[in-house]
Structure formats: C-alpha cells, structure tokens
A and B are shown apart, each in its own frame.
Chain A
Amino acid sequence: MKVLVCVKQTFDTEAKIELKDGKISDAGINLIINPYDEVAVEGAIQLKEKGIATEVVVVTAGSDKGMDAIRTALAMGADRGILVKQDTAADEYARAVALAAAIKAEGADLVLAGHVAADDGSSQVPTRVAEILGFPHVNVITSIDIAGGKATCTSEADGGTAVTEVSIPAVVSSQVSWNEPRYPSMKGIMAAKKKPVATVDAAAADNKVKIVEFALPAAKTAGIKIEDDADVCAAKLADWMKNVVKVEVK
C-alpha cells in the first residue's frame, strides 16, 4: 500500500510575528514542519514498520524552502519526496489543486495529512484534496486500522469519539494526539540525503480567497492584578471571565 503524506512548512510556533509592507515578515523566522503533519508522517512510517504500507512519499507545495520539511520527513523514515513549486500565497483551493494533481500523478492508496496547519488554522486542504481525488475522507483521527481494503478510523468529533470506516483509497487527516513523532536521528538524516526528491511545477489554479489586509492584534494590555478580599476578587474575576474571555458556563 502506497502512502502519500502532505506536509506544510510553517513558522515555528514560538515565532514572533511582525508585519513588513503589510505582509507577514519571515525575516529571521525558523521554519518547521507543521506539527500536525509531523504526526501524519510518523503515522505513515509506523504503518510501514507494521508492514501495512510499502512506501511512504511526502509531498509539499510551496517555495524551495519546503525542501527542509521534506528532508526532515525523509530523516524520520519516509522513502521519497515531492516538492510542488508554488507561490506561498496560494490559498486553500489552489493548494489543494496542486497537491491533488501531484498525488494523482504519483498514485496513492492512502493520503495522510495533519488536520490543520499551525499557521493558517484553516482545516480545509485535506478535505478539498479528497474531493478532487474523489476519495472518501475522515478527519481529525487519533488512530487508524487498515484491513481488507478498508480503513477504520477513530476521530475526535464534536462531543465524542466517532469510529468511521471508509474504503481505500482514502484521505485521512491526523489529530496531534495520534502519536509522538520520532526525533530524526543522525543516522536518519544521513540516509535522507540519499533519498530521491522530485520537483514539479504546480498545476495552475487561481486563488478563490483574496487577502484584504493583515494586522497584528491589539497589544495585550498589562495583566490586571488585584489584591483584596476574596469576595471582591472573585466577583471581579467572574466578571472578566464572563465578559472578556466569554466563557460558557454550564
């Protein structure tokens, strides 16, 4: 069974975000594999170790910097990489079109991806890719069982845990609790250097969503700290929780 894993390269989650010329600046930012995609890569490798998957291919769409993400996945144990060259400002639609085209050309029995990217938080691409490929999909999985041409997935759905079965080929997106991605050992990094990576151009697609503007959130006002009677403090805290944080009280 051939497994394709979609990975996205994102800013390090601790990165300080700054704007330059109205755009998010990437100066001095360390780029990492989207943590959710890292889990998908690990999941694919574990399927290979169990003898279920025969080959793990990682695909990413974006700039040349995406090569780092591919190399990391290869160092973890993936077999091959595909870099789809695309403008980093491509939206979810264009991204999905590019990825799906590369996956279709490659052929896949199972497509894995993180269910959301840590930078844009969109949660759309895996589902879109499934639609283009005409595959069934299951999102936000915490475990997967593959047998007899079917994938049985456990997902963190609204209000509970859902077990869903789909036929293979399928697209499955991972929740971060599925597994603990392994640390690429030097051995893996060295082996990765010899693994093949293909570069292809993205299938053409226009953006359907336009960026109007970027902004930084209002600077966090200094925290309030009160030292008073417990009752007074509690009342003020309750107020803040209801009106500022907007908690849901049962």
Chain B
Amino acid sequence: MAGTWVFVEQKDGNIRKVTFEMLSELKKGGDEVAAVVFGKGVEALAGQLAQAGADKVYVADDDIFAAYNTGAFVAQMIAMIKEYSPNAVLFAHSFNGRDMASRMAQKLELGLATDAIAADISAGKGIFTRSIYAGKALAKVEVAGSPVLATIRPGVWEVGSTAGAGAVVKAATAATAADVYQVAKSFVATVSARPDLAEAAVVVSGGRGCKGPDGIKLVEQLADMLGAAVGGSRASIDSGWLGHELQVGQTGKVVLPNLYVACGISGAIQHLAGMSSSKFIAAINTDTEAPIFNVSDFGVVADLFKVIPALMSGLK
C-alpha cells in the first residue's frame, strides 16, 4: 500500500498530542506511516515526528502556511496527494482537522469518516468506528476512495515508543495567494485561561461540601491539572465562592464533558439536569446516600479535603 498519512497538528512549533497518538497507532500496522506538516520553519519538527513513528515526514514550508487557512492548506494537500498517492490521509478531529478534511473531501468528491474512535485501514478502503448519538450508539462505516479519508478523535489512542526513520521529503509549494479566501484578522490564545464550561472535555465542580473558598481552591487546582473547566452547584454560586457563569444545573449551564468530577456535590436533581449526560462521572462526597452516587461511574465516599490533594499526587 502507498502509506498512511497523518496530517500534523501544530502551532508555533508545538505539536499536539493527538498527532503522536495517531502516528504511534498507525505504526503498529505494517504500512508506511508518514507525517505531513505545513507551516513556516517546520522542518525542525521532523525529529519529534520520527520519534513517534513517522517513517517519512513530508514538509511544505512556506509563508502561506504560517497560519492555518483552509484554501491554501487544501490546495497544497491535494497537489501532494496527486504527486505521492497515499493510501489514506488521516487528520485529527480538531477545528483545523475537520475543517480541512471536509473541504478537501468534497473537492475530491470522496467520503470522509469523522471523529473515528477506531480504524482498520487496508488497500483503498478503511473501516472506522464512530460514536454517534452523543455516545449512545456506535456505527462502523466503510470509506472507500483514493485516498481513504478520516479524522480521528483525540485521546482514543496512546502514544507509543516505536520510532520511525523520519525521512524528510520537501514538497513544492503548490498553494498560491489565489487559493486563500479567509483573512485571519486575529487570534487570541486561551492557553492561560481555563476552557469554557460548555465546551470543556473535563469539568471539575465544587458544591456545598467544599465549605468555602478553601475547598474551591482545591477544585481549581485539580481542574488546572486536568486542563479542565471549573463549575459549581447552586450552593457554591449562591455563597459567592464561584461566579454566576460557572453554575452547572437546571438554571445554570448544561455541560457534556468526557469527565465530570463532582466534589462535595450531593447530586440533587437540579444539578443532575446540568451534567448527567457526561460520559464519565466521578464523585467525591462524605454522604454515602448522596444521589450523585446513583449516576457516578466512580464514587468516593470520603472527605474531598483529603482526597483531592492525594488525587493530584496520584495523577502526576
């Protein structure tokens, strides 16, 4: 087969974890794995990509790729696909990834499997597993095409330690200014601030059991460790420990994170209405009868003031 390409997610020289996950997983198969990176001054990243398993690293280095824009990136990728005929091209299921993959798929009149959580790629086709209906069902789909296209959900694979040769192939810049139709006006990074509650993959919430700002501080520390958003039950907001915009529940926000950690929250129905659809729910509460334990996947009946610090040590 002509190799599986992984489009590299990087910004300012920082490669996102999902790229390493994808390279590592594909390395396990027998086919050639190549990393494809567009940017300015990105040839230097080849080493890291090889570490993660890339046999080849295709580099398109040009000013026009300094920041992501759909037009130029899609034009470039199509040109390279025509030149190098990969069997499959995989993207991360990220803002950039699905944006680029969808536009390109339509341009090539191909099918695309997005947000896949499992992949089985063979010559000319790929069978992908997708989580649908907010995780309530699974669909196995077959995408046949040249190349096979898919986007992969971050976090479903693990970073491995098998390295590849990482041979750099410099691709000619095929994209021109005429391909660009989006003008990037500004970009404000939110690295320092916590993610928005409604979009966060992990939410750590504090309730009455936090007893005050001290308990909430622990919640915040745990959240920062997990790159999570901070939320609160009605009690915390009422007591002024957390801002109004952080209230999770019937009269607050409804959140759908991958993991919801409820600290000192009893789980009264008004709160559950805001978070019960979370994929995983962990609860820490001293009351063994607290309703939150009826919905939690992992419940701990203990004092959060002791559990959270110990938990943070354990996660390191």
The answer to whether any beta carbons of A and B sit under 8 Å apart in the complex is yes
With known contacts A17-B136, A220-B297, A234-B310, A124–B112 Cβ distance under 8 A: yes
Stretch of A59-67, A75-83, A202-210 at the chain-chain interface: A202-210
Cα A157 to Cα B106 with chains together (Å): 21
A-B CB contacts (within 8 Å), total count:
267
Question: Which size class do B's interface residues fall under?
Answer: 35 or more
Counting from the closest, the 4 A-B pairs by CB-CB distance are A208-B111, A238-B314, A234-B310, A230-B306
Tell whether, in the assembled complex, residue B186 and residue A162 are in contact, meaning their CB atoms are under 8 Å apart.
Answer: yes
Closest CB-CB distance, B147 to chain A, in whole Å? 13
25 contacts between A and B (CB under 8 A): A11-B133, A13-B277, A24-B133, A24-B137, A91-B111, A118-B133, A118-B134, A122-B114, A123-B98, A127-B98, A128-B105, A160-B190, A160-B191, A207-B111, A223-B294, A225-B288, A225-B293, A225-B299, A234-B306, A237-B300, A240-B282, A245-B258, A245-B279, A249-B315, A250-B225
Instruction: Choose one: A162, A216, A227; the contact of B288 (CB below 8 Å).
Output: A227
Cα A191 to Cα B92 with chains together (Å): 45
Asked if B145 CB lies within 8 Å of chain A CBs, one says: yes
Tell whether, in the assembled complex, residue B311 and residue A17 are in contact, meaning their CB atoms are under 8 Å apart.
Answer: no
With known contacts A118-B134, A123-B115, A139-B95, A161–B70 Cβ distance under 8 A: no
| A175 nearest in chain B by CB position | B199
Asked if B298 CB lies within 8 Å of chain A CBs, one says: yes
Residues on the B chain within 8 Å of A207, using CB: 111
Instruction: Choose one: A177, A229, A238; the contact of B198 (CB below 8 Å).
Output: A177
Instruction: Choose one: B114, B134, B181, B196; the contact of A124 (CB below 8 Å).
Output: B114
Residues on the A chain within 8 Å of B316, using CB: 249
Cα A219 to Cα B107 with chains together (Å): 40
* Chain B residues proximal to chain A, CB less than 8 Å: 9, 11, 16-17, 70-71, 93-96, 98-99, 101-103, 105-107, 109-115, 127, 130-145, 155, 181-191, 196, 198-199, 202, 224-227, 258-259, 277, 279-282, 284, 288, 293-303, 306-311, 313-316
Closest CB-CB distance, B177 to chain A, in whole Å? 14
Asked if A21 CB lies within 8 Å of chain B CBs, one says: no
Residue of A119, A162, A235 contacting most chain B CB atoms (<10 Å): A162
Residues on the B chain within 8 Å of A167, using CB: 181
